[in-house]
Amino acid sequence: MNLTSSGPAALKSFGGLDDLHALIDTVPDAMIVIDTTGQILSFSNGAERMFGYAETELIGENVSVLMPSPDRERHDSYLEHYIETSERRIIGIGRVTTARARDGATFPIDLSVGEVNLNERKAFVGFIRDLTDSKETEQQLHSLQADLAHVSRISSMGMMATSIAHELNQPLTAITNYTEAARDLLDEPNEESIAHVREALNECAAEAIRAGQIVQRLRSFISRGETTREIVSLARVVKEATALALINGDARDVDFEVMLDDADDRVLADPVQIQQVLVNLIRNALEAMDESTVKKLVISSHNNDDNMLTVTISDSGPGLDQHVAEHLFHPFISTKASGMGLGLSICNTIINAHNGKIWAEPSPLGGTDFHFTLISAKGDTNNG
């Protein structure tokens, strides 16, 4: 992760960068320096404020202590892979991800990692920005949020189809009635009937314009067009969606864990649409646990041996009311007193469009497990 520090023997033996530490500590963001084994060599003042650790507590410790699962368990293998192959997955490539503070809280960060040589020894420098309350969060995730908003509009189409059909049916039915009335009036034309025919035709024109306006609203609604599916890393989609869902800091007191199946990470999906599903489900879980004494949220995955992969979001909230659970994915059915009942319906529309299914059931954690399936794309590498 971050940059160097002075003082500690580990850093002095690495090149004696005491003079640089004072400069590093003027940077408000976190900067951490690690060696090729993942040991922390330097931990700036900004990092101390962000993570809640003192530098003296972490010098010589593995940097994975600052990561939530599954990155905590995988970090050393990521580092070894880079050293052996020079294949860049994070190093030199900025990304939005999540970090873990001393109190166990998980929060979204913008991480950039660079490689440096200190006295002919390789080290890695991480620059970390906490996105929780940052004004720059809007800019950092603007593109993703815009895409998610568009996906929400696109995905709502299935839910809105009945309503749109009803809207169009009204002017079309009126046009039919008016034209049939005009036809009947022309059977015995006279001055009065001709006046009624003109009136009926005027009404036909008005209803035709109304139908056109409905279609125009529909076209505006989906003006950016459909998105396409591709082979993507589920871990990366989950990581970015999690960062977005945690932006407001609602998970500060939540025990959050990600346990994804390493052996089956590739799925055939529209990443933005699946992020929309994950953001909805994570936000719902956090809100459900708002009054809970124990707050635990787990995202996991497993292969079903039918070329489908199941993703599960589990929470320790109060669970679902049975009546609501029976109609959970229908439009306008909400688990929240002030909810519109659109979020889960949108999730259902997205997952159905991916040839998957979504359902909910009681969770071993005490709350609710939301499951959805995606088509597995085993065999592709490139873990991003």
For domain 9-135, say whether CATH 3.30.450.20 is its number. yes
Q: Are strands 106-118 and 95-100 parallel, antiparallel or unpaired?
A: antiparallel
What is 230-376's CATH superfamily?
Answer: Histidine kinase-like ATPase, C-terminal domain (3.30.565.10)
Q: Averaged in consecutive runs of 10 residues, what is the pLDDT profile of the chain (384 residues)?
A: 39 52 73 90 91 93 89 80 74 74 86 81 87 58 58 56 62 85 88 88 85 67 58 89 73 82 88 85 89 90 88 92 65 45 72 90 92 82 42
Tell me if 14 sits within 8 A of 36, measured CB to CB: no
pTM for the full model? 0.54
Tell me if 87 sits within 8 A of 81, measured CB to CB: yes
Report phi then psi at 287, rounded to 5.
Answer: -65, -35
Tell me if 259 sits within 8 A of 298, measured CB to CB: yes
Rounded distance, CA 209 to CA 30, Å? 59
Tell me if 127 sits within 8 A of 115, measured CB to CB: no
Strands (DSSP E) along 191-342, which ranges?
A: 230-233, 255-259, 266-269, 296-303, 308-315
Question: For residue 168, what are its two tokens?
Answer: 């169009």
Half-sphere exposure of 5 (CA within 13 A, CB side): 27
CA terminus-to-terminus distance, the chain:
17
CA distances from 62 to 58, 85, 97, 374 (A): 8, 22, 18, 35
Tell me if 253 sits within 8 A of 295, measured CB to CB: yes
Architecture of domain 142-221: Orthogonal Bundle (1.10)
Selection from 203, 350, 209 nearest residue 281 by Cα: 350
| Domain boundaries, given as residue ranges, for the chain | 9-135, 142-221, 230-376
Per-residue pLDDT, 212 = 79
